[in-house]
Structure formats: structure tokens, C-alpha cells
A and B are shown apart, each in its own frame.
Chain A
């Protein structure tokens, strides 16, 4: 099945680390993505991980993938007020062909001073 779940809301203090979690159900997923959406804007690609990897680090962002539990997380180090946005995880599956992404519900991150 195609079902991606995320918690709806996360609040952190500026300078702390944020961890946004995502679970997916389709074991055929090969690429998993994190996108950021600011108010009134489109989706900004943050990072992605291939399904045969456990971890990927990109500056302040760390992605962890637990394929056995179908669990994906995005850690943002030293969270800033500019990180306040909605974060979506998405999976790209081989079934159906092409470039279809299935998105989670999105996690709204609020960074407080």
C-alpha cells in the first residue's frame, strides 16, 4: 500500500536540534525525499536518500533510514527561526513507473526564540 505518515506538529527552541519522523509502508520504495514548504510557496527539495543507505549528512541536515522498520527521520542541527516551515517526506516507488511521489501529511515545525 501507499501510506506515508508524519506527526503534524513540532515545536523547538532556537539552537536546539529538531527531529522530524516519517513512516512509510511500501517496501519497494527506492528513493525517499525531504521537502520544505514555507507559507505561500512551493516545495523546496532539502535532501534525499537511496534505500540502500542508512544515513546521509548534508551540512545541518542528517537523514536516517531504518528500512526494517520503514522509518525515516530528518534531523536539523542548530535550528534557526528561518527553519520554521512544513516538512514533507515523500517516497518514490518503482510500481506504476515514471516519477510519482507519495507524500506524507507534513510536519509543521515552529522554532521559538
Chain B
């Protein structure tokens, strides 16, 4: 099976803009989770989607949002970008049961100028 894919791999934006990142899970996986990785804060959980519904959410402002489509592909959106949003955004998929093992994609590296 193909692994988790994320697009784009690299992105440069300016403050105030918005960005949409995409994640395609492993075939058959129904859960998609998003994480933010920064040198200062490490790896932090953003949110998880299962069957097109948000099942869990981390402590991020409302500027961070996501959605999941019927084919389990997921997108996350960040509006009104700030310099501090520069990070590696990682997507992970799992089959869907609670506490299933998560498999990560290569990430999207976002730079906000």
C-alpha cells in the first residue's frame, strides 16, 4: 500500500494570508490526525478527523481548522497567518478504532514571512 501523502511539501506565505494543506491517508484508513512541529514547542496535536467528523481537538486557536472528505482525504486550513505558524505540519492516518497506531506522512514545511 502507498503511504500517507501530503501536498504541497513546501510552502512560503506572508503574514495575513491563508493556507490550505492536503493529506491523503493510507488506503482503507478512516482516521486522519494533524500535528504541528516547531523547534520551540515540539510536536503538538492539532485535531483528528474520523468519518468526516472532528473527533478530537488540541489547544490551537480558531484560525486552525480542518475537514475530511468522504474518501477520507483531509485538508487543514490556517487563516490570517502569523510568523509563529512557520512549522512542519504532519499528517497521520490510522484505521480508525480508538488508539490505533498512527502512520505519518512526510509533512508540509510552511514558512511564513
Q: Which residues of A contact B (CB under 8 A)?
A: 30-31, 33, 35, 41-45, 48, 88, 90, 92, 94, 96-106
- CB pair A96–B56 under 8 Å, yes or no, is yes
- CB pair B104–A97 under 8 Å, yes or no, is no
- CB pair A99–B106 under 8 Å, yes or no, is no
- The dominant DSSP class at the B interface is strand
A-B contact pairs, 21 of them (CB 8 A): A41-B106, A42-B106, A44-B104, A45-B101, A97-B56, A97-B98, A98-B31, A98-B48, A98-B50, A98-B56, A99-B31, A99-B33, A99-B102, A100-B45, A100-B48, A100-B58, A101-B45, A102-B45, A103-B35, A103-B42, A106-B43
**What number of B residues sit within 8 Å (CB to CB) of A?**
25
Known contacts A43-B92, A101-B43; 14 further A-B pairs (Cβ under 8 A): A41-B107, A42-B107, A43-B90, A45-B102, A94-B98, A94-B99, A96-B56, A97-B98, A98-B50, A99-B55, A99-B56, A99-B94, A99-B99, A100-B56
In the complex, A45 Cα to B100 Cα: how many Å? Answer: 13
List the count of A-B residue pairs having beta carbons below 8 Å apart.
Answer: 68
- CB pair B94–A42 under 8 Å, yes or no, is no
Max chain A Cβ within 10 angstroms of own Cβ: one of B4, B43, B56, B105: B43
